[in-house]
Amino acid sequence: MQPKYSEVDYEDYAHFSNKNPDELQSIKNLVIAFANLLYKIDLAAKDKKLLWKLFRKNEDFMSSVDVKKKDFDSSILDTVCDALKYKRESEEGSAEKA
């Protein structure tokens, strides 16, 4: 199965974003993994916080994405949601031009 959110999508988002490029590079794989996991799912603030806590406590998950618990802060899910929103808006803009 092909991922819905690719490295190219992330690079496009990173160029658009006003976030620190070094920080974005350091969380790239994590954001791509979450973006594929949460693709087409709208999260409320409470949902994001709950998911963050759930994943942060899951040592197997943290190990699989190669992130230390202390480095996994809640802003990562905000970045994931921003990246997905940017992709949706880009796709909608492309569809309108076609």
What is the pLDDT at residue 53? 92
97 pLDDT exceeds 70? no
Is residue 1 one of the residues assigned to a domain? no
DSSP character at residue 12? H
| 6 vs 76: CA distance, rounded Å | 17
Residue 32, domain member (yes or no)? yes
**pLDDT at 96 > cutoff 80:** no
User: Comparing 2-11, 19-28, 59-68, which segment has the lowest mean pLDDT?
Assistant: 59-68
Q: What is the pTM of this model?
A: 0.85
Q: Is the pLDDT of residue 10 over 80?
A: yes
Is residue 86 one of the residues assigned to a domain? yes
Domain total of the chain? 1
**CA–CA separation, 19 and 84 (whole Å):** 15
* 39 within a domain of the structure (yes/no): yes
The 3-state DSSP composition of the chain as helix, strand, coil percent (nearest 5) reads 70, 0, 30
Domain enclosing residue 33, as ranges:
7-97
State how far the Cα of 58 lies from the Cα of 13, in Å rounded to an integer.
28
Domain assignment present for 36: yes
pLDDT at 98 over 60: no
